[in-house]
């Protein structure tokens, strides 16, 4: 959305003042022409100075006005879209022909949730527009965002994790603080990504480095686990770090695969009210008769749970839509908070000597291991038995799985938006909730949707992006044979060695000896790495690959633009 900008004309009063001053000067020269030359020169200097001041004021006024118009135009574009995403995402949604009609939502708070105007304000405060030559600087959380997180997650969460009377212990490289006469620390780095991408295999090798104490995957940030359980779970690392001065630079990490993609089911900590409302509604619905009334297609119990599928305006509206009143999606006034926002709030630990934006949040490191979407989906299908049992353990079954999942998502996208459906798919309507496992594996691979939220609160320079295919030396699946997977040891060792060196530099670790590198690389593959070859004995069909390539293409274009790396189009692994 843009406004036509017109050049501001000079105020007539200012012109008149200039003319009057010119007349005064002429009069002065006419009446006092016999006065000394120095007095005349002094008057001329004064007039020239006044003219310069007037002109400079007008230029400054116009510059401020144009700047204000630019800011207003950008804000209006975000608000009129009605979807709680960044300005860059709005433009991308338009390009992908997603609905962008403005939605007038009444300003109100629902059970402590912020309204739609607040949601758009939150997103405007953290734009993520970048180019390859720019650096991405994320915004700090606003007070409004912090208050919203306290309402959504509960203030006791933050008090239990980092008490109000905490004392930062900045002599440690890892984020540590003292509270209740004990030292507590949080991970210095996170290995993000998904299952079937090899993240846990990579971290299993990295912990061999003498400066890395260890890593665990608690799935703490996205699942409602007790805060005490998290920092106590890293007690082994804290005990090692505080031994003496030589151990203060040791670090540890978190490699929970569910942290990166903040879909609704993968961020339940931020949607507790929804789950509680659905549970309460479901229990009440069990009291309804299990008979189908005349002229209806649902039992009374199912109508209570799902709502009237024939008439969505009829009562009952169903448990899901009832719960959405208290936890609506962003475009309907939802809080718009995500796992990255929560992490940023917690990691904003600072001491009295911190400068500007400096805090532990700015020192945090992320290692993002991503895999070509179609291949990850294929291996997920062959890894989880429930997909094979439901669709059939064959390539016919995978074809049906891929076709149904993409079709269901396209229906949702036609009614809402790509970002909204990725984040809230099963909550929009019972027909989406009924989709087998809510199209979760398909949605996990929409990397651009997820990285957008991370870039809102963390700088791009805090991320190291790796492709699983490079790290594990995988062949091009389009032309590869089973023997290519078995005989890739040379490329695997080279890829793993290069990846570990990149990770060490990213984490500011000391140099690794040849012996240490060999030990890391020669470690046996874990199940997390072997699953990368799960589908090698049953290659994906050409038609199915073409279907998935077309589906994921817009998301990959957005991803490559956001991180500034065309390699993440995976052109060398999709053809």
Q: Whose structure tokens read 């619905």?
A: 285
- Structure tokens belonging to residue 411: 């229906």
pLDDT tens digit sequence for 479-499: 877 777 777 888 889 999 999
pLDDT tens digit sequence for 41-71: 555 555 555 554 444 444 333 344 333 333 3
Window from 426-440, 477-491, 542-556, 559-573 with minimum mean pLDDT? 477-491
Question: How far, in Å, are 14, 49, 119, 420 from residue 54 at the CA level?
Answer: 8, 9, 42, 51
The candidate with the shortest Cα–Cα distance to 492, out of 195, 189, 201, is: 201
The candidate with the shortest Cα–Cα distance to 402, out of 368, 430, 367, 377, is: 377
Which is it for strands 251-254 and 189-193: parallel, antiparallel or unpaired?
parallel
- Structure tokens belonging to residue 510: 């000391």
Q: Give residue 525's Cα distance to chain centre.
A: 30
110 close to 333: Cβ distance less than 8 angstroms: yes
Q: Is 352 exposed, middle or buried (CB count within 10 Å of its CB: 0-12, 13-18, 19+)?
A: exposed
pLDDT tens digit sequence for 194-252: 888 988 899 899 999 999 998 888 889 988 888 888 888 888 999 999 888 889 999 99
| Residues with Cβ within 8 Å of residue 356, at least 6 apart in sequence | none
Residue 104: what are its φ and ψ, rounded to 5°? Answer: -85, 110
356: left (phi over 0), alpha (psi -120 to 50) or beta: left
Number of H helices, E strands in the chain: 27, 8
**What's the half-sphere exposure (Cβ side, CA atoms, 13 Å) at 179?**
17
Name which residue leads in pLDDT, 298 or 188.
188
| Residues with Cβ within 8 Å of residue 496, at least 6 apart in sequence | 202, 205, 471, 472, 473, 520, 521
- Structure tokens belonging to residue 229: 């359980």
Question: DSSP per residue over 139-156, as a string?
Answer: PPPPHHHHHHHHHHH-HH
pLDDT at 569 > cutoff 70: yes
Q: What is the mean pLDDT of the chain?
A: 76
The candidate with the shortest Cα–Cα distance to 201, out of 538, 530, 565, 515, is: 530
Question: How far, in Å, are 110, 267, 329, 552 from residue 323 at the CA level?
Answer: 11, 16, 11, 31
Window from 142-156, 204-218, 527-541, 543-557 with minimum mean pLDDT? 527-541
pLDDT at 406 > cutoff 60: yes
pLDDT at 335 > cutoff 60: yes
Q: Whose structure tokens read 């990166």?
A: 260
| Residues with Cβ within 8 Å of residue 159, at least 6 apart in sequence | none
Residue 367: strand pairing partners: 191, 464
pLDDT for 351 equals: 60
Q: Is 564 exposed, middle or buried (CB count within 10 Å of its CB: 0-12, 13-18, 19+)?
A: middle
* Bond preceding residue 316 cis, omega within 30 of 0: yes
pLDDT for 161 equals: 87
pLDDT at 10 > cutoff 80: no
pLDDT for 187 equals: 94
pLDDT at 14 > cutoff 50: no
Cα separation, 255 vs 187, in Å, equals: 10
- Structure tokens belonging to residue 235: 């007690």
Cα separation, 347 vs 364, in Å, equals: 8
107 close to 116: Cβ distance less than 8 angstroms: yes
Residue 253: strand pairing partners: 189, 215
In a 3-state reduction of DSSP, which class is residue 534? coil
175: left (phi over 0), alpha (psi -120 to 50) or beta: beta
Residue 214: strand pairing partners: 252
Q: Kindly list the strands in the beta sheet with 167-168, ordered across the sheet, starting from the edge strand earlier in the chain.
A: 167-168, 176-179, 182-185
């Amino acid at each position: 959305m843009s406004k036509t900008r017109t050049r501001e004309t000079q105020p007539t009063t200012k012109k008149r003042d200039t003319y009057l001053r010119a007349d005064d000067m002429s009069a002065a020269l006419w009446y006092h022409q016999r006065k000394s030359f120095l007095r005349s020169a002094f008057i001329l200097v004064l007039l020239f100075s006044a003219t310069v001041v007037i002109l400079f004021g007008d230029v400054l006024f116009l510059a401020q006005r144009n700047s204000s118009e630019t800011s207003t135009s950008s804000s209006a574009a975000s608000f009129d879209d009605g979807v709680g995403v960044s300005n860059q995402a709005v433009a991308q949604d338009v390009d992908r022909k997603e609905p962008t009609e403005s939605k007038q939502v009444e300003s109100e708070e629902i059970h402590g949730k912020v309204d739609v105007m607040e949601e758009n304000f939150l997103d405007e405060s953290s734009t993520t527009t970048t180019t390859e030559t720019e650096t991405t600087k994320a915004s700090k959380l606003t007070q409004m965002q912090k208050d919203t997180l306290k309402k959504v997650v509960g203030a006791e969460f933050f008090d239990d994790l980092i008490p109000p009377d905490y004392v930062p212990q900045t002599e440690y490289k890892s984020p540590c603080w003292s509270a209740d006469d004990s030292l507590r620390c949080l991970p210095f780095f996170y290995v993000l990504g998904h299952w079937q991408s090899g993240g846990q295999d990579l971290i299993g090798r990295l912990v061999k480095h003498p400066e890395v104490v260890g890593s665990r995957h608690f799935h703490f940030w996205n699942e409602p686990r007790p805060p005490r359980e998290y920092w106590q779970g890293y007690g082994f690392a804290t005990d090692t770090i505080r031994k003496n001065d030589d151990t203060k630079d040791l670090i540890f990490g978190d490699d929970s695969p569910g942290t990166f993609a903040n879909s609704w089911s993968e961020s339940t900590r931020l949607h507790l009210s929804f789950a509680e409302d659905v549970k309460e509604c479901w229990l009440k619905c069990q009291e309804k008769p299990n008979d189908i009334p005349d002229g209806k297609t649902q039992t009374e119990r199912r109508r209570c749970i799902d709502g009237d599928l024939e008439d969505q305006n009829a009562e009952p509206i169903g448990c899901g839509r009832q719960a959405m009143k208290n936890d609506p999606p962003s475009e309907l006034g939802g809080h718009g908070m995500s796992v990255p926002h929560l992490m940023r709030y917690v990691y904003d630990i600072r001491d009295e000597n911190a400068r500007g934006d400096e805090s532990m949040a700015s020192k945090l490191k992320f290692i993002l291991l991503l895999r070509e979407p179609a291949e990850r989906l294929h291996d997920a299908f062959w890894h989880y038995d429930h997909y094979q049992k439901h669709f059939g353990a064959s390539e016919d079954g995978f074809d049906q799985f891929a076709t149904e999942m993409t079709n269901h998502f396209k229906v949702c996208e036609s009614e809402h938006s790509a970002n909204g459906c990725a984040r809230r798919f099963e909550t929009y309507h019972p027909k989406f909730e009924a989709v087998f496992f809510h199209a979760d594996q398909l949605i996990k691979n929409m990397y651009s949707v997820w990285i957008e939220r991370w870039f809102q609160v963390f700088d791009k320079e805090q991320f190291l992006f790796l492709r699983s295919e490079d790290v594990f030396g995988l062949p091009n699946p389009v032309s590869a044979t089973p023997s290519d997977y078995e005989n890739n040891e040379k490329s695997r060792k080279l890829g793993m060695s290069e990846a570990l060196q990149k990770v060490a530099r990213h984490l500011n670790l000391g140099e690794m000896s040849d012996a240490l590198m060999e030990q890391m690389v020669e470690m046996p593959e874990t199940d997390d790495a072997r699953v990368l070859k799960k589908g090698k004995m049953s290659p994906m069909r050409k038609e199915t690959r073409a279907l998935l390539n077309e589906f994921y293409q817009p998301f990959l274009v957005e991803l490559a633009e956001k991180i500034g790396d065309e390699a993440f189009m995976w052109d060398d692994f999709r053809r």
